[in-house]
Amino acid sequence: MRPTTWRLVLAIAVLSGAVSFGVVSVWTSMSGALPEVPWPTAVLLVLFAAGVLLAALVLRPRMRRDKGRRPLDPLVAARFAVLALTSTRAGSFFVGVYGGYLAVAASHLDVAYRRRMVVVSGLCVLGAVLLVVAGWVLERACRLPPPSAASSANGASGAEGVPT
């Protein structure tokens, strides 16, 4: 498994932002009204980012096999690695979607509703950025520690099957 690169995150955000900007622009021009972004969306993004970050903090000592910590089952580590990849990709997608919405909403700040939507969509972008960062931290926590000198001499890594 290859770690997520900043180029991939940026590409997903730019592409989804362009599509979101186009769709919201067409929607607004055809209906005359900007669709609403509910404020709980930002809260849920931040809560999910906090959960992913908490998982990374709990997982890291077990992946490093610190003294007093049980080693992590390889299947569980693989599931956390998938969660990390999903978090970075979904977070970058939401950065683009709400960023495109933010760009359309910011075009007419003289209307109170649009100012409120700028604030809400800006908070959604911030929550999505936190989700990307939390996903990267979890990816980093899922990496295997370098093999020790004793285990590399025997040819065993001590954690077969755990994704890097």
Q: Is residue 155 over pLDDT 80?
A: no
| Concatenated DSSP letters of 2-48 | PPPPHHHHHHHHHHHHHHHHHHHHHHHHHHSSPPP--THHHHHHHHH
Delimit the domains of the chain by residue range: 6-145
pLDDT averaged over the chain? 87
Q: Is residue 19 over pLDDT 90?
A: yes
Model-level pTM? Answer: 0.83
Say which DSSP state 66 is in.
Answer: -
Residue 113 phi, psi (nearest 5): -60, -45
Q: Which of 11, 25, 7, 21 is nearest to 98 (CA)?
A: 21
Give the mean model confidence (pLDDT) for residues 76-88.
92
Q: How would residue 150 be classed by pLDDT, with cut points 50, 70 and 90?
A: very low
For the record, the structure tokens of 30 come out as 């055809």
Half-sphere exposure of residue 87: CA atoms within 13 angstroms, side-chain side: 31
Q: Is residue 88 over pLDDT 90?
A: yes
